[in-house]
Amino acid sequence: MQKKKRSNKTNPYVSKVQEFLKKKKGKSYKRKEISRSLQVSKSDYHLFREAVEQLLREGKIMRLKGGKLTSSVSLQRFQGEIQMTRKGFAFVTDERTGEDVFISAGNLNTALDGDLVEVQLFGVSRGRNKEGQVLRIISRANHTFVGTYHKSEYYGFVVPDNPKVYRDFFIPEEKSKKAKNGQKVVVRMEKWDSSQLNPEGSIIEILGYPDEPGVDVSSVAISFGLPLSFPKKVEQEAAQLKLEITPETLKDRLDLRDQQIFTIDPPDAKDFDDAVSLEKLPNGNYLLGVHIADVSHFVKPGSAIDKEALRRATSVYLVDRVIPMLPEHLSNNLCSLQPHVDRLTYTCQMEMDARGNVIKHHIQPSVINSKRRFTYLEAQEIIDDPGSRDKFAPVLREMHALSQRLRKRRFQNGSIDFNTPEVKFKLDERGFPIDIIPVEPLDTHKMIEEFMLMANQTVTMHVHQISKGKRTLPFIYRVHEKPDREKLQKFTDFMKALGYQVNLKRNFTPMDFQQLLTQVEGKRDEPLVKEVAMRTMMKAVYSLNNAGHFGLAFQLYTHFTSPIRRYPDLEVHRLLKLYQKPVQGAELQSLMKRLQKVCEIASQQGRSAMSAERESVKIKQVEWLEKHQDQVFQGIISGVTSFGLFVETMPYLIEGLVRMEMLEDDFYIFNEKTYSLTGKDSGRVLRLGDPVRVRVANINRERNEIDFQLVIEDDD
């Protein structure tokens, strides 16, 4: 006879579990730990399990990351970094549960993007996100902001450049530094005690008028906290460094100065941090050499240069300038692999069979003498010319053939091709954009990319091999997790709205995602789809935990190949040198703490650099567009919302908004499921991915925002 279950109302374990966790406020336990503490018998275990599920449903207890349970009372408040949206509301991630908590505009309590805040939850939400309010600001992410100064009759105020800074700064006359109306300035927040009032600030620097040379991009750099110069102490320390090739320097280094090694870089590059070589071995295999600038020889841990390099963590490539990680004496001179001079390097040699499998590898500090400095185009022209008599032609052709095999195999293994269209700017002497040029990637770009990817994989594999049978050696991985289900569902809906067949299984692989993207190859909306696919992906980060790289379909991956411009690569070089000898346990413990800090800083600075680079591009696009306002542009609908259409012009990749009120030919109804607007009377459908023609309706230079209007055939 089947045992009759008791109803939830009489389940004694509901109150017992709730009381137990309330008494243990702030602590969390596994389900089995709770059942043992409550001495739950086997016959009652199903009641205990039902009680736990009921309490979770009612929000009286909560499940944390890792599955542990705790009282909801202990989770009513938490701390986290606030992430503002351009629409005025924000989210704070509760790291204990991994959930994003929604903060409405009215509950921000003076918090700004990036601030560390304390949040009070409102209780159980029936929507997608829990909701809360900011109780207090623990620490400000920024105290200085860039914006445009405006002078009224009685007072001045600064409109911030960053649209996520949602309030203007009130500037008393005595704190205006005599700034002029319309000038770009740096303002320091002095006081903001109440969300009912605007923040009060003082101007600490006047950058100049927006149309003065360099002011626009300098504004971007400062607003993202990017330093425009090095501290004097760092410059002095760098100036004292010299490269001396002595017997001591050459000790334990491979001497490769007689080998045919060369660099391939953009025409305007000065910091050559990678060189390549290829040799055909008697057994028919290839010996691929990737030789990377040995920055670790010059930059010692704890030095002034090292501290500043970690603070920056990356070089930033803005439209009109580079903000380097290292002083110029290092980046463009001592460490740069210039032709016909001896340079210290770290070499990764890989013996590869005809299929591109690495049979053997050897990683060791080295010294090289680059025999040639190629630009990508120069190397491409030699490869493309079957009659070329250039002495490097044979090796370049061999490299090209090998790289194509490597690339083909990588995509067969599931690596995703995210090469999206890019543009570069031709600037005049004042920094004004006179042309926007679409960038076509050459085979030589792809060739160097494949060799660097292979070296990064091989270095990671090497560290794993020397860790076997010993204590795991801490290492910096470049990891990229698979997209979360919610983002993936949005991308699936997006693809279906464009008319593509999408059927991603629950445990989808990089190969599944790649095959989905092959549907759009060569199609009109390929750039749009790849751009949205990129946004769907999780952001790659640096981590001590090897979670693999989903986008590349690699199990093992690091960054080893760019130590002049990325701090993690410099740290990886140091680790390789350190692990040449046995390392003590105590040393590994302190190393773990340092590497964790490096990962956090480098991941954060990498995100800031990418945002700054995009913003500098946007500024120049807006400047260029101001001079072409009468031009009609071909475009594609890149977004559909309730307030209008986003259109991206081709091939200039300039995105602007066609506001709903600008669609004057009809009353349009928004359909969220099909990403479309439909005219009520005409039946005209404006759908995501549709080709359209637009011209400029309005440009807001302060916000770098563009309004377009559609050009209907009758307008011609």
* Residue 63 shares a structural domain with residue 90: no
Whether residue 686 contacts residue 676, with contact meaning beta carbons closer than 8 Å, is answered with yes
What pLDDT does 124 receive?
52
Highest mean pLDDT among 273-287, 494-508, 525-539: 273-287
* Residues in Cβ contact with 133 at an 8 Å cutoff, skipping those fewer than 6 apart: 103, 107, 109, 119, 120, 122
Smallest Cα–Cα separation from 613: which of 329, 223, 265, 308?
223
Determine, yes or no, domain membership for 128.
yes
Q: Which residues pair with 278 in a beta bridge?
A: 288
* Residue 295 shares a structural domain with residue 335: yes
Determine, yes or no, domain membership for 654.
yes
Q: Quick one: what percent of the chain has pLDDT higher than 90?
A: 66
SS3 419: coil
pLDDT over threshold 80, residue 135: yes
pLDDT over threshold 50, residue 716: no
pLDDT over threshold 50, residue 519: yes
Determine, yes or no, domain membership for 593.
no
pLDDT over threshold 90, residue 589: no
pLDDT over threshold 50, residue 1: no
SS3 273: coil
Q: Which residue has the higher pLDDT, 265 or 534?
A: 265
pLDDT over threshold 60, residue 475: yes
pLDDT over threshold 90, residue 484: no
Whether residue 159 contacts residue 187, with contact meaning beta carbons closer than 8 Å, is answered with no
Strand 274-280 to 286-293 pairing: antiparallel
Determine, yes or no, domain membership for 367.
yes
Q: Quick one: what percent of the chain has pLDDT higher than 70?
A: 96
Mean pLDDT of 321-338: 96
Mean pLDDT of 548-559: 95
Mean pLDDT of the chain: 90
Instruction: Determine how many CB atoms are found less than 10 A away from the CB of residue 317.
Output: 14
* Residues 620-672 pLDDT 10s: 999 999 999 989 999 999 889 999 999 999 889 999 999 999 998 899 999 88
Mean pLDDT of 316-340: 96
Determine, yes or no, domain membership for 444.
yes
What six digits make up the tokens of 72? Answer: 């909801």
What six digits make up the tokens of 604? Answer: 């954060």
Looking at 467, 483, 507, the residue that finishes a domain is 467
What six digits make up the tokens of 443? Answer: 């085979």
Determine, yes or no, domain membership for 421.
yes
* Residues in Cβ contact with 70 at an 8 Å cutoff, skipping those fewer than 6 apart: 21, 26, 27, 28, 29, 61, 62, 64
Whether residue 640 contacts residue 677, with contact meaning beta carbons closer than 8 Å, is answered with yes
Whether residue 534 contacts residue 420, with contact meaning beta carbons closer than 8 Å, is answered with yes
What pLDDT does 128 receive?
59
What pLDDT does 682 receive?
93
* Residue 160 shares a structural domain with residue 273: no
Whether residue 170 contacts residue 192, with contact meaning beta carbons closer than 8 Å, is answered with no
* Residue 309 shares a structural domain with residue 440: yes
Mean pLDDT of 436-450: 94
Determine, yes or no, domain membership for 499.
no
pLDDT over threshold 90, residue 601: yes
Rg (alpha carbons) of the chain, rounded to whole number: 29
pLDDT over threshold 70, residue 435: yes
What six digits make up the tokens of 184? Answer: 């770009």
**Extended beta strands in 469-538, E state:** 477-479
* Residues 89-119 pLDDT 10s: 999 988 877 788 899 998 999 999 999 999 9
* Residue 178 shares a structural domain with residue 200: yes
* Residue 128 shares a structural domain with residue 164: no
Question: Where does the pLDDT of residue 259 fall: very low under 50, low under 70, confident under 90, or very high at 90 and above?
Answer: very high
Instruction: Determine how many CB atoms are found less than 10 A away from the CB of residue 577.
Output: 16
Strand 691-700 to 144-151 pairing: unpaired
Instruction: Determine how many CB atoms are found less than 10 A away from the CB of residue 621.
Output: 23
pLDDT over threshold 60, residue 569: yes
* Residue 236 shares a structural domain with residue 198: no
Instruction: Look up the domain containing 268 and give its range.
Output: 232-467
What pLDDT does 418 receive?
73
pLDDT over threshold 90, residue 2: no
Question: Where does the pLDDT of residue 493 fall: very low under 50, low under 70, confident under 90, or very high at 90 and above?
Answer: confident
Q: What CATH number did the domain enclosing 148 receive? A: 2.40.50.140
What pLDDT does 96 receive?
75
State how far the alpha carbon of 368 is from the alpha carbons of 102, 341, 345, 515, 673, in Å: 55, 8, 7, 42, 59
Question: Where does the pLDDT of residue 185 fall: very low under 50, low under 70, confident under 90, or very high at 90 and above?
Answer: very high
pTM: 0.83
What pLDDT does 511 receive?
87
Mean pLDDT of 197-222: 93
Mean pLDDT of 520-531: 79
Question: Where does the pLDDT of residue 5 fall: very low under 50, low under 70, confident under 90, or very high at 90 and above?
Answer: very low
* Residue 314 shares a structural domain with residue 427: yes
pLDDT over threshold 60, residue 3: no
Looking at 139, 155, 178, the residue that finishes a domain is 139
Using the structure block, give the residue that is written with the tokens 């927006």: 210
What pLDDT does 95 receive?
80
Determine, yes or no, domain membership for 558.
no
pLDDT over threshold 60, residue 375: yes
pLDDT over threshold 80, residue 131: yes
pLDDT over threshold 70, residue 150: yes
Question: Exposure pattern of 551-575 as b/e (b: 16+ CB <10 Å)?
Answer: bbbbebbbbbbbbbbbbbbbbbbbb
Question: Where does the pLDDT of residue 521 fall: very low under 50, low under 70, confident under 90, or very high at 90 and above?
Answer: confident
* Residue 244 shares a structural domain with residue 276: yes
* Residue 262 shares a structural domain with residue 376: yes
Question: Where does the pLDDT of residue 515 fall: very low under 50, low under 70, confident under 90, or very high at 90 and above?
Answer: confident
pLDDT over threshold 50, residue 528: yes
**Any alpha helices (H) in 541-652, and if so which ranges?**
567-578, 585-626
Mean pLDDT of 234-262: 95
Q: Which residue has the higher pLDDT, 507 or 454?
A: 454
What pLDDT does 6 receive?
46
Whether residue 182 contacts residue 148, with contact meaning beta carbons closer than 8 Å, is answered with yes
Using CB atoms within 10 Å of the CB of residue 502, give its burial: 0 to 12 exposed, 13 to 18 middle, 19+ buried: middle
pLDDT over threshold 60, residue 7: no
* Residue 173 shares a structural domain with residue 251: no
Looking at 139, 159, 177, the residue that finishes a domain is 139
Number of independent structural domains in the chain? 5
What pLDDT does 489 receive?
81
Instruction: Determine how many CB atoms are found less than 10 A away from the CB of residue 169.
Output: 25
Distance CA(630)–CA(652), nearest Å, equals 16
What pLDDT does 491 receive?
84
Question: Where does the pLDDT of residue 517 fall: very low under 50, low under 70, confident under 90, or very high at 90 and above?
Answer: confident
State how far the alpha carbon of 492 is from the alpha carbons of 128, 447, 495, 549, 686, in Å: 19, 32, 5, 21, 20
Instruction: Give the count of alpha carbons within 13 A of 337, CB side only.
Output: 34
What six digits make up the tokens of 404? Answer: 């194509």
Question: Where does the pLDDT of residue 471 fall: very low under 50, low under 70, confident under 90, or very high at 90 and above?
Answer: low
* Residue 111 shares a structural domain with residue 170: no
State how far the alpha carbon of 219 is from the alpha carbons of 84, 214, 224, 615, in Å: 20, 9, 9, 10
Q: Which residue has the higher pLDDT, 7 or 290?
A: 290
* Residues 446-469 pLDDT 10s: 999 999 999 999 999 999 998 876
What pLDDT does 599 receive?
97
